[in-house]
Amino acid sequence: MSALKYSLLAKFVSVVFAALVIYVLFGTIRNVLIEYKGIRKKIRESGSGNIIGYAALTDEWQDEDAWRPIYDETVFGSSPECAFRITGHGLKGQHFRITRGKDRFFIERLCMKSDLLMVNEHDVRRKERIRSGCKVYAGDAEILITLMDGWNGRD
């Protein structure tokens, strides 16, 4: 093989190798970004932000470990993606959501109207205001809601 052919072959191999490295690098960056977006979405769905209160099932409320945080937006249900997961009590995958508005808290129905969702024995139709100390009835579960001082739903 002549020196010219050898030199051209070496340049060709180095260009192909560089292109392969760049391809793998961009593929890796792409996969990392996709995973990052997925993790951020899961964090957003599972509850994040400021803790606005705590909730516990009424049959477990005396155990301090039963009280779990409620964030600015917290979805309650039986799905593993819910920030407040309750299994074995007849809740739908995403049964309801508690959110914070300006100086107020709201509960929003995410399940069908035929599924039980009540606050203090009042049926929740769509999105309604709630206050600290209320009881939420969802499926077969009775949940106590305590909201943080300064965000207690006062007018």
Per-residue pLDDT of the chain (155 residues; tens, 9 = 90+): 788 888 888 899 899 999 999 999 999 999 888 887 776 665 555 555 788 999 999 888 777 778 999 988 899 999 998 889 999 899 999 999 999 888 889 999 999 999 999 999 899 998 999 999 999 999 999 999 999 865 444 43
Residue 16: phi, psi to the nearest 5?
-65, -45
CB neighbour list of residue 128: distance below 8 Å, 6 or more residues apart: 106, 107, 108, 119, 122
Distance CA 29, CA 114 (A): 46
pLDDT computed for residue 129 by the predictor: 92
User: What does the pLDDT read at residue 152?
Assistant: 44
CA pair distance 128, 150, nearest whole angstrom: 19
- In this predicted structure, what is the pLDDT of residue 48? 59
For residue 72 the two structure tokens come to 């600015």
Tell me, what amino acid is at 13? V
Query: Which pLDDT value is given to residue 44?
Result: 54
* DSSP string covering 80-146: TT-SEE--SS---TT-EEEEEETTEEEEEE-S-TTS-EEETTEE--SEEEE-TT-EEEETTEEEEEE
